[in-house]
Chains A and B, each alone.
Chain A
Amino acid sequence: MTFKEILKITANLVVLYVAGGLILAAVYVKTAPIIAEKAAQEKKEALQKMMPDADTIQKLGDWKPHGKLAEYFVAKKDGAVIGYVVQTFAKGYSSYINILFSVNNNFVVQQIDILHHAETPGLGDEITTKWFKGQFHGKDMEHLKVVKRETTEYIQAISGATISSRAVTKDGIKKGLKFLEKALKGEKQHEPPTARKG
């Protein structure tokens, strides 16, 4: 290889990669604000869906499951607290699963939703099915447990995706619920006791 050829190859590589980088940057600049806006909109809708009866959903604070920033909220109707919504991250089979769940005042799970995940298509991604998410309705701390047989009392594992099922249940929701109870206990001392109705 002559020196001239090396120069030619280098120039070729540089020109094409810079061009590719510029195209990507242009697309990114154009799409990033739209993506952020739509994601924020979706999050708002997802929160409302968690607590359909609530008229206001207020942020209570942040917490850091697996070192990732997550939020938790209080849901109110006519000024009275009717429940809480917690965002959490669970360590799944191939990704951190971003989960949103709501509980009523007795810390019984109402609804859950999977905001984002990258579990195995066809197996782990069944955590987003209505059937799986629906199982969580009405479960309290003791019944947030994955079993590998047919059950309505506990959470039934997805066949072929026990790790993902367990992650959502134990590392996600159960841990989130424990955190919520602890966080509220700490907060209650500052609040007047009438702020939470049974």
Chain B
Amino acid sequence: MNHLQQEKVSYWGLIKNGIFKENTIFRLVISLCPSIAVTNSVRNGFLLGVAVLFVQTMVNSTVALLRNFIHPRIRLPIFMLIISGWVTVVDLLMQAYARAAYKEMGLYIEIIVAFASILARAEMFASKNKVGAAFFDGLGSGLGFLVALVLISFFRELLGRGSLWGFQIVHTKPMLIMLMPTGGFLVVGLLMGFFNWIDINFYGGKGAGGAGGH
């Protein structure tokens, strides 16, 4: 991530970077588990995306704020503390003050703790940058995750149920396989290939590569 530290990058640039150049799912290839597990309807994908966007932004800001107080050798346990702390706080606050929203999103909030993408951004960016930059990086990669999930779930719900956000659009017999994990792998793979194809043919890139993670 050296190019980000050396250049003076605008906040808008950081957001764009999170959505396109370092898109969590299509470019970095991490957090693939949720990208398949909860994308069988647009509503699910969107809600998880919003939850991740919020947690990512808060975690990034907190890590950047505390970066000078964290010994490098124990940074990972501290990041995990910050992530699980934020998730628990959000979970409790929503249960107490926003129960209607909690009923919709509670399931998603609780599973964020284990997302590789949150930890990855904290390690790659937030721990080396100022609070402002880390905030916008969190916003960008959160938005990138949201966009990716909505895109995947758009195809899966349309083909698997013939509907979008619960509204029936096509009235033919749907392809049930698209709702199963199998369909998730297919859609994620095809979309990733599509973005690689654009990157290689139009921007001279080398395509996505990542260590993977869930």
A residues contacting B by CB (< 8 A) are 8-9, 12-13, 16-17, 20, 23-24, 27-28, 30-32, 34-35, 38, 42, 118, 120-123, 125, 159-160
Find out whether the CB atom of A12 lies under 8 angstroms from the CB atom of B71.
Answer: yes
- Told that A31-B97, A122-B40 touch, could you supply 11 new A-B pairs with CB distance under 8 A? A13-B78, A16-B66, A23-B85, A24-B85, A27-B92, A27-B93, A38-B99, A120-B37, A121-B48, A121-B107, A123-B40
Known contacts A16-B78, A27-B92, A27-B93, A122 near B99 by CB under 8 Å: no
Give the secondary structure class of B's interface. Answer: helix
Find out whether the CB atom of B107 lies under 8 angstroms from the CB atom of A35.
Answer: no
Find out whether the CB atom of B96 lies under 8 angstroms from the CB atom of A122.
Answer: no
B residues contacting A by CB (< 8 A) are 37-41, 44, 48, 66, 69-71, 73-74, 77-78, 81-82, 85, 88-89, 92-93, 95-97, 99, 107-108, 176, 179-180
Please name the residue on chain B nearest to A10 by beta carbon: B74
In the complex, chain A residues whose CB is within 8 Å of the CB of B92: 27-28, 31-32, 35
Known contacts A24-B89, A120-B37, A123-B40, A31 near B95 by CB under 8 Å: yes
Find out whether the CB atom of A160 lies under 8 angstroms from the CB atom of B180.
Answer: yes
In the complex, chain B residues whose CB is within 8 Å of the CB of A160: 176, 179-180
In the complex, chain A residues whose CB is within 8 Å of the CB of B89: 23-24, 27
Of A9, A32, A123, the residue contacting B73 (CB under 8 A) is A9
User: Can you pick out 5 interface pairs between chain A and chain B where the beta carbons lie within 8 Å of each other?
Assistant: A20-B85, A31-B97, A35-B95, A38-B95, A121-B38
In the complex, chain A residues whose CB is within 8 Å of the CB of B93: 27, 31
In the complex, chain B residues whose CB is within 8 Å of the CB of A13: 71, 74, 77-78
Please name the residue on chain A nearest to B77 by beta carbon: A13
For the complex, what is the distance from the CA of A13 to the CA of B85, rounded to whole Å? 15
Known contacts A31-B96, A38-B99, A118-B107, A20 near B176 by CB under 8 Å: no
Find out whether the CB atom of B176 lies under 8 angstroms from the CB atom of A159.
Answer: yes
Known contacts A12-B74, A13-B74, A160-B179, A122 near B69 by CB under 8 Å: no
For the complex, what is the distance from the CA of A34 to the CA of B95, rounded to whole Å? 9
In the complex, chain A residues whose CB is within 8 Å of the CB of B176: 159-160
For the complex, what is the distance from the CA of A42 to the CA of B66, rounded to whole Å? 40
Find out whether the CB atom of B74 lies under 8 angstroms from the CB atom of A121.
Answer: no
Find out whether the CB atom of B97 lies under 8 angstroms from the CB atom of A34.
Answer: yes
Find out whether the CB atom of A8 lies under 8 angstroms from the CB atom of B96.
Answer: no
Find out whether the CB atom of A12 lies under 8 angstroms from the CB atom of B70.
Answer: yes
Find out whether the CB atom of A34 lies under 8 angstroms from the CB atom of B71.
Answer: no
In the assembled complex, the CB of A162 is this many whole angstroms from the nearest CB of chain B, namely 12
For the complex, what is the distance from the CA of A45 to the CA of B191, rounded to whole Å? 46
